[in-house]
Structure 1
Amino acid sequence: MDQQGNDGWILVETLGDAPTVIAEGTRQRQCRPLGNVYRGRTLALVAGTIASVQASRQPARVLLGETVNGIGLVVARPVLGPGGDVLAVQVFTAPADRSPPAPHRAAGWEWNLSASAGPRRTRWTQEFRKLYGVSDTRPPHAYFGLADLYRRVPRISDIAVLMERVDNARPGESLSGELIARRDDGTLRLVRFVRRAVDTPEGVTLRGVDHDITDRTDAGELAVRIMDSDVAATVHSVAGVHAALVDSYHGYAIKWITAPLPGLSAEVEGGQVSLLHGDDLGAVRPHEPARLPGVARVSMADGSWAPHAVRAFPVPGYGSTPVVMVTFSAARPEQHSQHVGRGRCAVPDCQLA
């Protein structure tokens, strides 16, 4: 195995028919077969250790009585999903006298894609919460909405690319990529993800392994890369309006571009419950006469519906999900219109940078 730029750890995804390598240290690997990384007796040794971890769901440490191709020690750690399934295994190989360094943080989570499940719901492991620095104290098996998830993804373009690829995911299909995450304490991380659609009793579910690879870059570079998103949030705040990406067919929040509207329940803010009254969705749906400007009632935590002046701007790049950027204000519609302008699209020329 090529050790250049590698700390001895590899990350092996185990959701498919055979284990595949998705990272060597922080170096990306495009789901390489295990046999492309190891050969002969070493391959049999590593594959057997992975199979043992999959069966037991427990870490394994194998100290060999003899050196095999320079390897005398194999350490393996499972990456579990919310249901306890082994989504991946972290494997360290080295001479017997070498102690393994701490592996880069890897965490599992899942996303129910079934239409019958209502708004798309995600479940996070404790390791996932640690990776993203989540301060939310909901119970370990609680569901989170997409706005909960994407609160930690500053760049709208990252969200658009992911959602477009997920929209029509079929069992067995996988996707991978990178995104910049902002932890709840404000620090930035670079995350590599691999996700695969699988059949479950609840319907098609996307199971994913996210892998912190921040060591590959620096915080200053990440801050520059999210500058456009931060500027957009600041502009809306200065204008005195709130803004969110919303599924215009169902009224669920997908991503808050500014701070969320005050007075919402955690379920509404996070995208598990519709933000907008069903009878008012015409005010935000593309091609509806009342779209710009309009009034829509917002679901409040006390059970009331608070009217807000809204403007909606189509956002491309989300597959069949009809996403709009909605701005909210307590001002009268004509005043709100002056606040946020008369653009027809949330991004220039309807292109995401």
Structure 2
Amino acid sequence: MSVNLSKNGPALTAAYKEVVDEKSNTNWALFTYEGNSNDIRLAEKGDGGLEELVEELNSGKVMYAFCRVQDPNSGLPKYVLINWTGEGVNDARKGLCANHVSSIANFLKGAHVTVNARAEEDVEPDVIMEKVAKASGANYSFHKEASSRFQDSGPQGPVGSVYQKTNAMSEIRRTNKDNFWAQAEKEEERRRLEERRKADEERQKLERERKDRESKEAALREKRDKERASQIDQQKKYQQQLEAESKEQEKQRWEAASLISQRSVNPREMFKQRERGITPSDSDTPPAAPAAPASPQPGRLQSPFLSKQVNQCERASSPQRQASPPPPVSAGSASPGHAT
């Protein structure tokens, strides 16, 4: 995504104009992002030069500084643009903000020197002023230098020294700043480790829950499969039992029919004859056949074998009855024709 310079545009423009205005005491302005967004805001501004500016740089942020310095060769004002990317910024953020450098340079126009810095060694005032001197030397006017070379400037004074008195408060502030950023980096590293540990624990927890859920689902699915298989087996056994009973009943019916077909006397006719034998005769009942044997007594089984034995006994007794003498005839019953 592109950088947003319009949200806080008036404040950004006002700070930039103060720096480029030579009559203004403000000689540096520092810009940064609002949180993790791409909106640029004014972080700080001041009149203490590079020494004051570098103390405001944050190693955990991406920042842009615009500063007015004095050229050591010509004494003219020069402008320095510092693209600061702290060492504590993550790689993804670094890559995203690297695409914004050209847009920032177009907004903060007129920079004679551009410094891409990541550590405090890159923004030391002496290092930056050396770059400014080199840049101005390339653009230094030869004609102006030649004309001033042949001018009598009077007696030369003693050669100056570059030694500067140590500022105790500045050194203390710098030491405190170093300690502060070192502590901030340690805390940031500890925070990242803690977040990574929590993320690992959360991932392991989710993995355990997933495995437990899959195990329970597999056990429940196996139980359902076993119950379904048991029901199917019971249904098959019940069906086989029904088929076996049906076959047995069919077999019994077939055997009964076979036995009935092999009999010489129909049981139904036998019972009908027994019914006729125990019923008293009347005019409506037809006479029994003369050759039929006497009706058996009720409750006595009629059998062809028994009937055959009875018939044999009757034939054996018949000659005896025929051989017995006839009864005597009385005298009065004699015919008159036989009288003498």
TM-score between both structures, scaled by the size of structure 1: 0.20
Q: Which has the higher strand share?
A: 1
Task: Compare relative contact order (CA 8 Å, sep 6+) and give the higher one, 1 or 2.
Answer: 1
Q: Which has the higher helix share?
A: 2
